[in-house]
Structure 1
C-alpha cells in the first residue's frame, strides 16, 4: 500500500511554521509527525500539499493509496483501523478526516460517494501553533515509549546526577558531562552524538535530538524538544526547536516554537506571561488579526531562517515570519512578517537574493547542500508573503 500524508485547511493556522514545510514535517515530541507515521507503517511516505512545496515534498501516487491527515499523530488503534479501510472509505473523527483510501484516479477526480467510518480512538493532533508546545509533553512521552521500547540505554556517566534514571535514555555516541538529569516529571531522551556540556541542569520531559548541543551551565525545563543539530544555552522552558537552529547563549526562551535555520543572539529574551496574567492573543494568518489562544503562557513563534541580534526583547505572544532579521533596543512588536530587516526603529525589506546567500552560508557550515529547489522555495515564500509586509 502507498501512504501519503496530506495537508488540509488547518495548515494556514500553523503559519509561519508551514510556509517552508508540510504539516507532517513539524517536530512534535521527539519525532516529526511524518517520522511517527513512518515508524508505525514501516515505510516511507510522500506528501499532498501546496503546489509551491511539491518540488521539495513530491507526491507519489500508486494504483492503491491511503492518504493520512498530516496534523494527526498515529497510535496502535488508528493504524489498525486505517489498515482495514477499503476503496471509497474514510476514517473520521467528528469533522476531522483522518485517512481515506483512494485509487490513483481519485486524486484528480473523486469516483463517487465516500463512506465515512467514525473512529472511537483518542489521538494527539495539532490545530494551532501553540499546540506544539502546549501538547509537547504528551507527544514526547509517547515518542519516548515508542522508540525506546525493548532497547537498552547507554550508561549514565558516574559524574552526572540522575534522578529517576529508569526514565532516562541515552543513544550511542551521546556525551554528558557533569550535569544533572531529573526525569521525575517526565522522560529525558538524549539522541545520538548529542552533547550536554558540564554544569547543565536538565528536567524532563525533554528531548535532545541527534547531534544537538546543550551549552555549559544551561537550565532546560520540560516539556522541551531541542531538534537535530541545534545548540541551546541559557534558560529554556517548554519550547520546541525544530532543528539546525541556535540559542547558544544566555537569555530566556519560554513557551515558544522556533523553526529551522534560526539564530537567537546572545541575551535574547522572550516574555511568556503578561503582567496582567490575562490569556495571550497571537497573530493568526487566515484571520489577519490576533486571536485568543486560551493560553496564559505563550512566548515566541518564529518561522524558518529568521534571526535576531544580541539583547533582543520579544513581547508575550510574538509571531515572526520567515527570513526576517530583528535587532535594536526595546520590546519588538508582536507580529513581524517575513523578509523584514530592522526593529523598533523601523523595518526595510530583506530581499530574497540576500536571504538565499545567508541560507547557503548556514547550510555550508553544516556541510549540507543548498539546492536550487531550496532557493526557489525561499523566493516562493517571499512572493506569497508580499501582502503581510505592509503590516
Structure 2
C-alpha cells in the first residue's frame, strides 16, 4: 500500500511552522509526525502539500493510495482501522476525515462523497500551534513507550543522580555526566549521540533528540523536546524545539515552540503568563486576528531561521514569523511578520539576499547546505507574507 500524508484543513492554523514544511514534518513528542506514521505503518510515506514545498517534500502516487490527514497522530488502533479501508472508503471521527483510500487526491474530501467508517477510539490531533507544546506531555509518553518497548537502555554513568531510572532511556552514544535526572513526572529520553553536560538539572518528561546538547547547568522540565542537532542552556519549560536551533545561554523559554535554524541570544526571555492571569490570545494566520487559546500559560511561537539579540524580551503569546531578526531594548509587538528586522522601536524589511547569507553560514556550521530549493521556499514565503509587513 502507498501511504500519503496530506496537510488537511489545519495547515493554516499551524503557520508560521507550515510556511516551510508540511504538517507531517512538525515535531511533537520525540518524533516528527511523519516519523510516527512511518514507524506505526512500517512503511515510508510521501507528502501532499503546498506546490512550493513539493520539490523538497515530494508526492508519490500509485493506482491505490491511502491518504492520511497528518494533523492526526497514529495509534495502534487507528492504524489497524486505516489498513482495513476498502477502495473509496474513508475513516472519520465525528465529521472529520482521518484517512481515505483512493487512486488520486480528493481536494474536498468529505463524509458525503466517501463511504465513511466512524472511528470511535481516542486520537490526538495537532490542530493549532499551541497544541505542539500543550499536548507534548501526552505525545512524548506515547513515543517513549513505542520506541523503548522491548529494548534496554544503554548504561547510565554512575556520576549522575537518578530518580525513577526505569523511566530513563539512553540510545547508543548518548552521554550524561554529573547531572540530576528525575523521571517521576515523565520519561527522559536521550537520543543517539546526544549529550547532557555537567551540572544539569532535568525533570521529565524530556526528549533530547539525536546529537542535541544540553550545556552545563541547563534546567529543563516537562514536558520539553529538544530536536536533533540543537543546543540549549538556561531554563526551559514545556517547550518544543524542532531541530538545528540554539538557545545556548541563560534566559527563560517557556510554553514555547521554535522551528529549525533559530537562535535565541544570551539572557533572552519570554513571558508565558499574563500579569492579570487571563487566558492568552495568539495570532492566527488563518483568521488574521488574535484567537483565544483557552490556555493560561502560552509563550513564544517562532518560525524557522528567526533570531534574537542578547537580552531580548517577549510578551506572553508572541508569534514571530520566518527569517525575522529581533533586537533593541523593550518588548516587540505580539505578532512580528516574516522577514522583519528590528524590535520595540520599529521594524524594517529583512531582505532575502541578506537573510540567505546568514542562513548559509549557520547551516554550514552544522554540515547542511543552503541550496536553491531552500532559497526558493523562503523566497515564496517572503512573497506570501508581504501583506503583513507595513514597512
Q: Do both proteins adopt the same fold according to a TM-score greater than 0.5, normalized to the shorter chain?
A: yes
Partner of 1:388: 388
Q: 1:366 aligned to 2:366?
A: yes
Aligned counterparts of 1:262 and 1:32: Cα–Cα separation in 2: 18
Runs of 4+ residues deviating >4 angstroms: 106-110
Whether 1:300 and 2:300 are equivalent positions in the alignment is: yes
Quote the Cα distance in structure 1 between the aligned partners of 2:306 and 2:96.
32
- Find the residue that maps to 2:389 and give its secondary structure: helix
* Pair 1:346-2:346 in alignment: yes
Equivalent residue, structure 2, for 1:149: 149
CA shift, 1:390, in A, is: 2.2
Normalising by structure 2, we get a TM-score of 0.98
Partner Cα distance (2:117, 2:25) in 1 = 27
SS at structure 1 position matched to 2:47: strand
Q: In structure 1, how many angstroms separate the alpha carbons of the residues matched to 2:125 and 2:108?
A: 28
1:322 match: 322
How far apart are 1:90 and its partner, in Å? 0.3
Please name the residue that 1:256 is paired with: 256
Q: Which residue of 2 aligns with 1:87?
A: 87
CA shift digits 1:239-279 (9 cap, x unpaired): 00000000000000000000000000000000000110000
Q: Deviations over 1:133-178 (max 9, x none)?
A: 0000000000000001111101111000000000000011011110
Match of 1:27 in 2: 27
Q: Which residue of 2 aligns with 1:216?
A: 216
Q: Does the 8 A contact of 1:156 with 1:162 survive in 2?
A: no
Which residue in the other structure is 2:48 paired with? 48
Counting only pairs closer than 5 Å after superposition, residues 36-185 of structure 1 correspond to structure 2 as 36-104=36-104, 113-185=113-185
Matched, 1:273 2:269: no
Contact 1:15 1:285 in 2 (8 A): yes
- Give the match's secondary structure for 1:282: strand
| TM-score, length of structure 1 as denominator length | 0.98
Q: For 1:164 and 1:309, how far apart are their aligned partners in 2?
A: 38
> In the TM superposition, what whole-angstrom CA distance separates every residue of 1:298-328 from its partner, at most 9, and x where no partner exists?
0000000000000000000000000000001
Q: 1:107 to 1:289 in 2, by over 3 A?
A: closer
Listed as ranges, the gaps of 5+ residues in structure 1 are none
CA displacement at 1:108 relative to structure 2: 8.1
Q: Secondary structure at the match of 1:58?
A: coil
Aligned length: 389
Structure 2: state its 5+ residue gaps: none
Q: 1:4-43 deviations in whole A, cap 9, x for unaligned?
A: 0001121101110110001111001000010000001111
Per-residue deviation, 1:113: 3.6
1:95: how far off? Answer: 2.2
Q: Tell me the equivalent position of 1:375.
A: 375
Distance 2:262 2:190 in 1: 22
CA shift digits 1:52-100 (9 cap, x unpaired)? 1111111110111000011000001101000000111000001221000
Q: Pairwise CA RMSD of aligned residues?
A: 1.3
